[in-house]
Amino acid sequence: MSWTEWATTQLDELARAQRLRRTVAFDCDGPEGQVNGRAVISFASNDYLGLSSAPEVRAAAHNAIDRFGTGALASRLVVGTRSLHDELEAALAAWKSSARALAFNSGYAANLGVLTTLATADTTVFSDALNHASIIDGCRLARARTCVYRHCDVEHLESLLAQTDGRKLVVTETVFSMDGDCAPLDQIAAACRRHNALLVLDEAHDVFGVSKDAFVDVEVIRVGTLSKTLGSLGGFVAGPTALIDLMINRARTFIFTTGLSPADTAAAKAALQICDSARGEALRTELRRWIEMIAPAHPTPIVPVILGADGAAVAASERLLAQGIYVPAIRPPTVPMGTARLRITLSARHNLAMVSRLKEALDTKSTEIA
C-alpha cells in the first residue's frame, strides 16, 4: 500500500466515524463575518475581550512593521530579539506578579518548553486528566514519569504526591479549554506546599485572572498565551528568574525557532496595557453580562453543550449555522469519547442583539440540543 493509499484509508475511517475535519474560512472583523458565503455571527473565537480589533492594538502592530519590518529574522539567541520583546516580557512579568517572563511563538510551544526543560528524568509530573494536548505532549517529550490524577480531584492528587519521592511537578490548566470549568487552585497550591512540588499553571483561557494570594510559599510557573485575552499571537512563561534563565538556555521550543514577529509582539504589549486598566475591567464586566445570559453563574466564557454522540453534535452545529450562528461541534479526540459537544465562546465584542439571538436559537432547539 502506498502512502497516499494509506492516508486515504485513514481519512475514510474518520469520515465514517463523523470525525473528518476541514478548515473553514471565516472572513471577519470581530464576531460577524462570512462562512462559505453565508453571513454569520461567530461564537467560536477565543478573542474574549475583543482586543484583536482595538484601534490601539492595530496601530501598534502597524508601527512595529514600519520600524522593524515583518519578521524577527532569526532566533531570539542570535539576532531575533528586539527591544519590543524585552518590553513585552517585562510587562508580562509585572502582570503575572513574577520576577521574569519569556515570550514563545505559541502557548503550545510555551508548555512544551516548560515541561521539557523542568521535567527531567528525576522528576515526577502530576497532570490533570483533562489537561490540554500541549501539556500531554510536553510530558511525553520530557520523558519524565507522569502520573495523571482525576479531573480536579485534589484528594487523588494528594494521595499520588504522598506516594512519590524525589522532585515533583504539578501541572494544570486554570480554566479548562473544552469544559470551561476552573481548577481548585487554592487546594492544589496547598497540596504543592505540603509536598514541596513546583506548580505549573496553564492560564491560556483565564480571562478573569488568578489571585496571586493562592501561591504564598509555593514555587509557581505561569504559562499563558498572547492569542486569546490579548488578541495577538504567541505564548509566554512567567516565573522565578533562575527558572526563566534555564529555559532561555534549554527550552528547545524557544532556542530553535525564529523569534515572535515585531507586529505580534507590539500588538500583545498594546493589548496588555488595555487589559490591565479600567477599560479592561469594563470589558470583563461586559463579558460577564453575556455569560450570565447564556449560562447563569458559569465561571468562564467557554460554555459547553454536551450532546454525547459525534453525529448529534455535528447536526446541532449545522442547525445553528443554518440560522446564521456559528458554534463548532467538538468531537474526539479533542474531547473524551462520548462527550461530543457544541463549544460556545463569548466575547466582549458581542452585543445584546447577538447574544439574544444565540439564546433564542438554543431555547428554540432545547428539546433537540439540551
Q: Which set of grid coordinates corresponds to residue 62?
A: 502597524
d(CA 109, CA 129): 20
pTM reported for the whole predicted model: 0.95
Are 211 and 204 in contact, with CB atoms under 8 Å apart? no
Second-level CATH architecture of 54-276: 3-Layer(aba) Sandwich (3.40)
What is residue 370's predicted lDDT score, i.e. its pLDDT? 40
Are 106 and 227 in contact, with CB atoms under 8 Å apart? yes
What is residue 214's predicted lDDT score, i.e. its pLDDT? 77
Which residues, at least 6 apart from 70, have a Cβ–Cβ distance to it below 8 Å?
A: 261, 262, 263
List, by residue number, the catalytic residues.
Answer: 46, 132, 173, 177, 202, 205, 228
d(CA 139, CA 171): 10
- Cα-based torsion angle of the residue sequence 95, 96, 100, 106 in order, rounded to the nearest 10 degrees: -90
d(CA 248, CA 49): 30
- Residue with grid cell 520530557, as numbered in its chain: 142
Read off the DSSP letter of residue 301: S
d(CA 77, CA 79): 6
Are 198 and 168 in contact, with CB atoms under 8 Å apart? yes
Block mean pLDDT (10 aa), the chain, length 370: 97 92 89 91 97 98 98 97 98 97 99 98 97 98 96 98 97 98 97 98 95 85 98 98 98 98 99 98 98 97 96 94 95 94 98 97 62
Q: Which set of grid coordinates corresponds to residue 94?
A: 509585572
d(CA 307, CA 118): 38
CB atoms within 10 A of CB 140: 13
At 40 the three-state DSSP class reads strand
What is residue 369's predicted lDDT score, i.e. its pLDDT? 43
Q: Is CATH 3.90.1150.10 the classification given to domain 26-48+301-364?
A: yes
**CA distances from residue 333 to 19, 182, 336 in whole angstroms, order as listed:** 9, 21, 6
Type of residue numbered 265: T
pLDDT digits (tens, 9 = 90+) for 134-145: 999 999 999 899
What is residue 365's predicted lDDT score, i.e. its pLDDT? 56
Q: To 10 degrees, what angle do helices 107-118 and 241-250 make?
A: 100
Q: List the chain domain ranges.
A: 26-48+301-364, 54-276
Q: How many residues does the chain have?
A: 370
